[in-house]
Structure 1
C-alpha cells in the first residue's frame, strides 16, 4: 500500500491557478494593443488617402473638372449656395454669369428655316398613319428617362392652372383638359423652393395670346415656343416680336442648345451639371420630341447634362432644341386618350386617370406648376383660360398657399 502523500507533496502537485488569470490578462492586453494599432493605422491610411484626394481634387485638371461638374450640379438645385464650398463664392458667381452669357450667345445663332411643316411632304403624309404620340425609353451612362414624340406639332398647347392663386400638377392639367399627354414647361418664382407654383418667370403665351409678361413688350427674354405653322421657336425675343412672328404657344426658359442641326454645347463640361431634365426639340419634318430625364435617384438614375440631351436629340435628327424647367419639376404624364388602357375603360364606362410615366425626383410627388406642354387631338377646343388676367405680377405672393 503506498504511503500517503504529505501535505506539502499534495499542495506541490496541484496546478497553480493564480497563473491562469495572468495569461488571460496578457491576451486581452495584446488584443487591445492590436486593436489600437489597427485603429491608428486606419486613421493614418485615411489621412494619406484624403490628402492625396484633396491634392488631386484641387490641383489636377481631372479633379478640377469633377469639381466644376459638382458645382454645376448644385447650381441647378435648391442648394446652389453649397457650390461655394467647392469652387468659392467668387467663382460661383462668375460661373453662373458665364452660363447666362453663353445662353445669350447661343440665342444669337440665326435660324435657317430647316423645318418644313407645310403638310405636302411625303414624310408628313406618312406620319398620318402613325399614332399621334409615341413614348420611347432613353438612357445613358448615369441616367434613364423617356422620350415623348409628337408627330403633329400643331397639336401642342401651353396649359395653365385652372384656378388663380396656386399652381397645378401636370397630371391634373392633363386630366382636367382631357389631353393625350403632357410635360412640364416654363420656370416659375419659387422662394426657397417652397413656392406655390403660381407665378411664372418671363412670358407665357397660349392660343396666340399673351397670358403673362413680367417685362416690357419690347424687352427680349429667352423663350421656347411654337408658331402658328407648327415650327419651334427658341432663343431670345421680345413679346412684340413673337406676336409679329405668329408665335402661338411659348414659355420662358433657356438655353437653346441645338440650332440648324448643330449642337451648340461643345463638351460635357459645359453641360450645366448633372440633373433631372426636361427639354424640347424638333426635327426637319416638324416632329417634336420631349426628353424627360429622371435624376437624383441612385440605383435608378442620377441625371444628365445638357450635353447628354443634345446628343440624344442629334442622334434622332433634331434641328432645333431648347431646355425647359427641370429638377423636381420634370414629369411626363400620359392622359386618358393616350393611355393604352383607355379603350378598355371606355368600354366599361370607367374613367382612367392620367398616369405619370417617368419617375420624378421629388420625394413629395409632383410639383405645382404654372405651365405645361399638353398634346390634344383638337387643340382649338381646349378650354385654357388666362388666370393671370388683370393681375399685377409685382403683387403676386408666390409663397402664399
Structure 2
C-alpha cells in the first residue's frame, strides 16, 4: 500500500475490497462513508456504510457478495465536493448545492444491460475546461443509460489510463507528466 505525505496522495480511507478479500477495513474512520463497488454478480453497489464497525463491514461484504469496492465520503456541508450517489435505481439525485461546483470529476455507473460506465473529466482550466458539476455528471450518466451511478474522488485524483497511456492526467501542480499517486483505482483488464 502506498502512503505519502505533503498532499500528494496517500493511504485509502474507510474500506477496500479486492477480489472478495477485505484489504483495508476501517469504515468508522470517517463519517458519511459510502461503499462503491461491484458484487459477485457484477452489479454496481452504492451503499451507505456510515457507522459500520469493522466486524459489521466484514459481515456485509460476505452477505452481499461484494467482490471489489472502495469508499468515498458524503459530506453534508457545502465546504467541499464530497457527494456520492448520483443515480440510484434510475432515480437521479436531487441536489441541494452540496459542493457541486465545476471541478475535475471521476464517476462510475452501470446501465440496465450490465455495462459499466467510467467517466473522467478535465477541469480547473486545464485544456480550456472548467470541469463538471454534480448535475453534469448526472446528465452524462443518464445520457448513456445509467440506472445506478456514483461520484468518486475527483480533483487531483481524476485520472484515466487506457492501454498503458494517460487519456487524462490529474490536474495538480505536483506532477507534470504523470498523475497523483492513488491508493485505489478501478482497473479493467481483459479476461
TM range (shorter): 0.7 to 0.9
For 1:220 and 1:266, locate their aligned partners in 2 and report how far apart those are by CA, in whole Å.
17
Equivalent positions of 1:237-276 (< 5 A) are 237=49, 238=52, 239=57, 240-253=59-72, 254=74, 255-266=84-95, 269-270=97-98, 272-276=100-104
Which of these residues, 284, 289, 302, is aligned with residue 130 of structure 2? 302
Shift of 1:194: 3.7
Tell me, what secondary structure is at the counterpart of 1:241?
helix
Larger radius of gyration: 1
Equivalent positions of 1:318-333 (< 5 A) are 318-333=146-161
Q: Are residues 1:210 and 2:22 paired? A: yes
Change (3 A) 1:297 1:220: closer
> Root-mean-square deviation (CA), in Å?
2.2
Q: Which contiguous aligned blocks of 4+ residues in structure 1 show a shift greater than 6 angstroms?
A: none
Shift of 1:215: 3.8
Shift of 1:265: 3.1
Query: How many residues were matched structurally?
Result: 169
Gaps of 5+ in 2: 75-83
Higher strand proportion: 2
Which of these residues, 181, 185, 191, is aligned with residue 368 of structure 1? 181
TM-score calculated relative to the size of structure 1: 0.39
Decide whether the 8 Å contact of 1:271 with 1:307 is kept in 2: no
Instruction: Note the alpha carbon deviations across 1:90-116, whole angstroms, 9 max, x for none.
Output: xxxxxxxxxxxxxxxxxxxxxxxxxxx
For 1:327 and 1:221, locate their aligned partners in 2 and report how far apart those are by CA, in whole Å.
18
Decide whether the 8 Å contact of 1:261 with 1:318 is kept in 2: yes
Decide whether the 8 Å contact of 1:265 with 1:271 is kept in 2: no
Instruction: Note the alpha carbon deviations across 1:281-340, whole angstroms, 9 max, x for none.
Output: 0001100101100011255211111110100001111110011111111111012xxxxx
Shift of 1:360: 2.7
Decide whether the 8 Å contact of 2:107 with 2:118 is kept in 1: yes
Decide whether the 8 Å contact of 2:86 with 2:137 is kept in 1: no
Provide the residue aligned with 1:148 in structure 2: none
Provide the residue aligned with 2:77 in structure 1: none
Shift of 1:266: 3.8
Gaps of 5+ in 1: 1-163, 168-189, 336-353, 379-401
Change (3 A) 1:235 1:325: same
Provide the residue aligned with 1:290 in structure 2: 118
Change (3 A) 1:355 1:270: same
Provide the residue aligned with 1:130 in structure 2: none
For 2:111 and 2:48, locate their aligned partners in 1 and report how far apart those are by CA, in whole Å.
20
Q: Are residues 1:277 and 2:105 paired? A: yes
Equivalent positions of 1:11-160 (< 5 A) are none
Higher relative contact order (CA 8 A, sep 6+): 1
Decide whether the 8 Å contact of 1:270 with 1:307 is kept in 2: no
TM-score calculated relative to the size of structure 2: 0.80
